[in-house]
Amino acid sequence: MDSYILFTDLSCDIDASLLNEWDVQYCSLKHHFTDDPENEHDNLSYPVKQFYDEVRNGRVAKTSAVDIESFVTDFTRMVKTGKDVLYLAFSSGLSSTYANSVIAAEKVRALYPDRKILISDTRSASSGMGLIVYLTAMKKRGGASIEEAYAYAEELKPHLCHWFTVSDLVYLKRGGRVSAAAAFFGGVLGIKPVMHMDDPGHLIPMLKVKGRKASIEKLADKYGELSIDPKGGTVFISHGDCIDDANALADILQERYGVKVALISYVGLVIGAHSGPGTLALFFLGKER
């Protein structure tokens, strides 16, 4: 298992200290505020609480993918150690990061033909992607070869459920996920969308409910409907600076199904730039997405 490096990007919304503990290396997408386009930040270089406070106060954040040359630099650094690389990538349905990594890998393979660089498009985001990273890291720790770990990550994808809701539709409107009219009337009427990520890795509105409490309850409902192992499954929750709601969802899951949430984390800056403050997301393995 030490013959290869497990690599990911911080769109997985897992704290760097945990990734280090799991023996996972990483890179990061970046964001900038539109009123300060020259200064780019990644998930580690900007305080997440400050980010959400500023977005609430009207600052608009834009994001950029990991570019090809950055991947060439990272892949080269890793293969020079004599090890192969398995990269678990941010969904191709949401970013050009995966496509850039494929081009970079081809360039590095040409220079180091004896080294393997395998890339899995996780079709996932935030801590859903993080759950794939965690489970694959545990598979590697258990002795899986790079091919076995890659196959395992691929098998997880169609079962990795992403269910989430947002506090304000304006952020999804900016990204084209909902219409301007839906955002306006949703704000006036208190309508909260419940969305999920489909198999190709796109965000899809599924339900509309009235009020925040009802949207949280609906996330718990979906867990009960879809979870492969409702009592013993590994469950991650991420939140856009709404820890009380995240804890409330965790409590509901434990009361209803007896499952203890394994990880509650922030929605990071890159994902949060599109979903906004108040995002609440639930991730688990299900019968289907």
Which domain, by its residues, includes 163? 159-285
Please give the pLDDT value at position 181. 40
What span, in angstroms and rounded, lies between the C-alpha atoms of 88 and 4?
Answer: 13
What span, in angstroms and rounded, lies between the C-alpha atoms of 11 and 98?
Answer: 12
Please give the pLDDT value at position 269. 94
Residues 9, 150 share a domain: yes
Q: Highest mean pLDDT range out of 73-77, 205-209, 267-271?
A: 73-77
Instruction: Give the largest CA-CA distance in the chain.
Output: 60
Residues 172, 151 share a domain: no
Residue 19 binned pLDDT confidence (cut-offs 50, 70, 90): very high
* Single pTM value for the model: 0.92
Q: What's the mean pLDDT in 207-231?
A: 93
Q: What is the CATH number of the domain that holds 196?
A: 3.30.1180.10
Residue 176 binned pLDDT confidence (cut-offs 50, 70, 90): low
Residues 132, 42 share a domain: yes
Q: Which residue has the higher pLDDT, 138 or 275?
A: 138
Residue 182 binned pLDDT confidence (cut-offs 50, 70, 90): very low
Determine which helix (DSSP H) or strand (DSSP E) holds 126, and give its type and residue range: helix 126-141
Residues 126, 49 share a domain: yes
The two tokens of residue 238 are: 């991420």
What span, in angstroms and rounded, lies between the C-alpha atoms of 240 and 275?
Answer: 8
The total of structural domains in the chain comes to 2
Q: Which of 152, 148, 141 is nearest to 1 (CA)?
A: 141
Over pLDDT 90: what percentage of the chain? 81
Residues 166, 148 share a domain: no
Please give the pLDDT value at position 185. 39
Q: Is 210 helix (H, G, I), strand (E, B) or coil?
A: strand
Q: Is 113 helix (H, G, I), strand (E, B) or coil?
A: coil
- CB 289 within 8 Å of CB 161: yes
Q: What's the mean pLDDT in 7-22?
A: 97
Q: Which residue has the higher pLDDT, 117 or 42?
A: 117
pLDDT score of 55 more than 70: yes
| Average pLDDT score over the chain | 91
pLDDT score of 184 more than 50: no
Encode 226-258: b = buried (16+ Cβ within 10 Å), e = exposed.
bbeebeebbbbbbbbbbeebbebbbebbeeebe
Residues 174, 145 share a domain: no
Residues 270, 166 share a domain: yes
Domain boundary among 156, 189, 211: 156
Domain boundary among 134, 156, 178: 156
Q: What's the mean pLDDT in 66-76?
A: 98
Residues 259, 183 share a domain: yes
Q: What is the CATH number of the domain that holds 125?
A: 3.40.50.10170
Residues 193, 126 share a domain: no
Query: Per mean pLDDT, which range of 89-103, 118-132, 169-183 is the poorest?
Result: 169-183
- Cβ neighbours around 47 below 10 Å, total: 11
Residues 254, 124 share a domain: no
Report the side by side order of strands in the sheet with 36-42. 36-42, 30-33, 61-64
Query: Per mean pLDDT, which range of 30-44, 75-89, 195-209 is the poorest?
Result: 195-209
Cβ-based neighbours of 85, under 8 Å, separated by 6 or more: 4, 5, 7, 75, 78, 79, 115, 116, 117, 118
**What digits encode the pLDDT tens for the residues 26-37?**
999 999 999 999
- CB 262 within 8 Å of CB 233: no
Domain boundary among 121, 156, 191: 156
Q: What's the mean pLDDT in 33-53?
A: 93
Residues 180, 116 share a domain: no
- CB 158 within 8 Å of CB 289: yes
What span, in angstroms and rounded, lies between the C-alpha atoms of 261 and 13?
Answer: 16
